[in-house]
Amino acid sequence: MSESVRTYDELERLVQKTYKNPDLESLRRAFALADKAHEGGVRLTGDPVISHPLAVAYRLAQMGLHLNVVIAGLLHDVVEDSSVTIDDLKNQFGEDIAGLVEAVTKLKHGIKYRGTERYAENMRKMFLAMASDVRVVFMKFADRLHNLETLYGQPKYKQERIARESLEIYAPIAGRLGMSEIKGELEDGSFAYLQPKEYERMKNIMDIKIREKGAYVSRIIDSVEKLLTGTSITEFQVHGRIKRLFSLHKKLNKYQGDLSKIYDLIAVRIIVGDVEECYMTLGLLHQHWRPVPGRIKDYIAQPKPNGYQSLHTTVFTENGEIVEFQIRTLEMHELAEYGIAAHWRYKEGSRKAVKNTRWMEELAQIQKELQSKKDFMEQLEVMKIDVFRDRIFVFTPQGDVIDLPEGATPIDFAYAIHTEVGNKCTAARVNEVMRNLDTTLQSGDIVEVITDKNRRGPNPDWLKFAKTRHARSKIKDSTRHTVKGWFAEVLKGREKAKK
């Protein structure tokens, strides 16, 4: 067994530490159920299967998300791996937890790898589709992070695929949501598999730098603590931060490999109580050390598009060394690490209100960010987000995403795929269950249209429940043809009769 495997006791201890009056009884029951469901299963790493949901739940608890999300994390692979159903979970853990597990399970089935381009497009849409409950996205990240951590157990082709997906799809989404900690982990975890040599090179550079500068930065941290002690700033934290490897790799490329241009290999992070203290700290640093010109950045007054706030400055220290500082409040710090997840931390009780308003704000933010880019594809995305509110996103069994208006039915879906599929459709399977053609589809549904090639054409009654203009006009066109055809035949018949 690998040493990084978490035990249930560790999870429970973390939960007790993080949450006020946690429902440990449900947590225990969830673990017992998951443990039994995955009993005897072994992952390719050689660890028992239960180690995976435990790690996912542990991560979600570290993020401080609502305990229901942690419990759902324990249960997230249960429906797939055993005979336990969503209904069982509903009965034993309630609607909310069962709903989360259902959403995560669905997401897994909706997605199949079919080339990076289309896959990326699908994934972005899917994440938007899941925006109605952003907690599902956090669960997906926690799941993916653990799969990356244990990727060494997988065969090579799978390593490559999972790493690429993580780097090209998951990491940018984490970035957009302002979850820089998770973005960084996703990037470095993938980088190690996609460019192992370059990864090693970056690792060596950092190792050398840490050996060279580590002790020195420790002294700088001490000096900062001394500077702040005795001022009106009573609560502060100062620590060193080491640049992530993929981030270093990108920056080095930007500077043609010139390491001397990169000042934030090791930065010092100062966390204080409020905004006033941030500026005060900046002033104290500049009194003590001379700032490098052009390197002062006020992301408090002017936050980055994803909401990031901090003051940055770079200074010349005593022996001509250059050190970068990042100054922020605890709230800004949590936001920088956890992004929109930060709004979800410790907010028991008021979950719904927080969820909806925050998420909508976040979408607005993403829109703003995209509008500032002139890229045409990005603009297309903006348009999709604009109409997002009354749209649903459903999937083909192959994982393609079809977006439809709210209230759409399998008929709309069929016509969205192809006119012929619409004209010849006779029934639909929604999430593997046969449904009537007038069933209202929900975001995340997987829809399969059953066609009959002998079918003559659409039924005019379909107009009663077809929602899209496209489907309606195709049905009308086609029925008009049929009537015309029939009419023509009758006329022909009369002609014949006359003769």
The residue ranges that bind Mn ion (CB under 5 A) are 77, 143
- Give the nearer residue to Mn ion in terms of CB position, either 77 or 264: 77
Please answer whether residues 81 and 98 qualify as being in contact, where contact means their C-beta atoms are separated by less than 8 angstroms. Answer: no
* Least CB distance to Mn ion at residue 117 (A): 25
Is the CB of 19 or the CB of 141 nearer to Mn ion? Answer: 141
State which residue has the least CB distance to Mn ion: 143
What's the closest the beta carbon of residue 78 comes to Mn ion, in angstroms? 10
From 158, 182, 160, select the one nearest 171 (Cα to Cα). 182
Q: End-to-end alpha-carbon separation of the chain, Å?
A: 91
Contacts of 233 (CB under 8 A, 6+ apart): 272, 273, 277, 280, 281
Closer to Mn ion by CB, 77 or 445: give it: 77
Out of 80, 258, 276, 452, which one is annotated catalytic? 80
**Could you tell me which residues come within 8 angstroms of residue 9 by beta carbon, excluding any fewer than 6 positions away?**
none
Report long-range pairs for 295-303 (Cβ below 8 Å, ≥24 apart). Answer: 295/263, 295/324, 300/275, 300/328, 300/332
Kindly state the smallest distance separating residue 174's Cβ from Mn ion, in Å.
Answer: 17
Q: How far apart are CA 319 and CA 311, in angstroms?
A: 24
User: Using CA atoms, how far apart are residues 441 and 182, in angstroms rounded to an integer?
Assistant: 33
Indicate the helix (H) or strand (E) that contains 93: helix 86-93
Cα–Cα distance measured from residue 451 to residue 449, given in angstroms and rounded to the nearest whole number: 6
Distance, CA of 160 to CA of 443 (rounded, Å): 30
- Closer Cβ to Mn ion, 77 or 187, answer by number: 77
We find the least distance from the C-beta atom of residue 49 to Mn ion, in angstroms, to be 10
Residue from 12, 23, 35, 81 carrying the catalytic annotation: 81
CA distance 237 to 46: 40
- What is d(CA 498, CA 492) in angstroms, rounded to the nearest whole number? 10
Instruction: Enumerate the β-bridge partners of residue 404.
Output: 392
Specify the residue, 78 or 262, whose C-beta has the smaller distance to Mn ion: 78
CB 76, min distance to Mn ion, A: 6
Nearer to Mn ion, 55 or 272 (CB): 55
Beta carbons within 8 Å of 368's beta carbon, 6+ residues apart? 305
Residue 101 vs 416, nearer CB to Mn ion: 101
What is the residue whose two structure tokens read 């976040």? Answer: 362
Nearest approach, Cβ of 205 to Mn ion (angstroms)? Answer: 34
67-75 helix and 51-62 helix, angle to the nearest 10 degrees: 160
CA angle at residue 112 from 106 to 113, to 5 degrees? 150
Q: Coil, helix or strand for 426?
A: strand
Place of tokens 């429970």: 12
- How far is Cα 277 from Cα 341, in angstroms, rounded to an integer? 25
- Cβ 73 to Mn ion, closest distance in Å? 9
| Residues 6 or more apart in contact with residue 337 via CB below 8 angstroms | 179, 180, 181
Nearest distance from residue 99's CB to Mn ion, in Å? 17
Q: Which two tokens stand for residue 396?
A: 């083909």
The answer to whether residue 81 is catalytic is: yes
Active site residues: 80-81
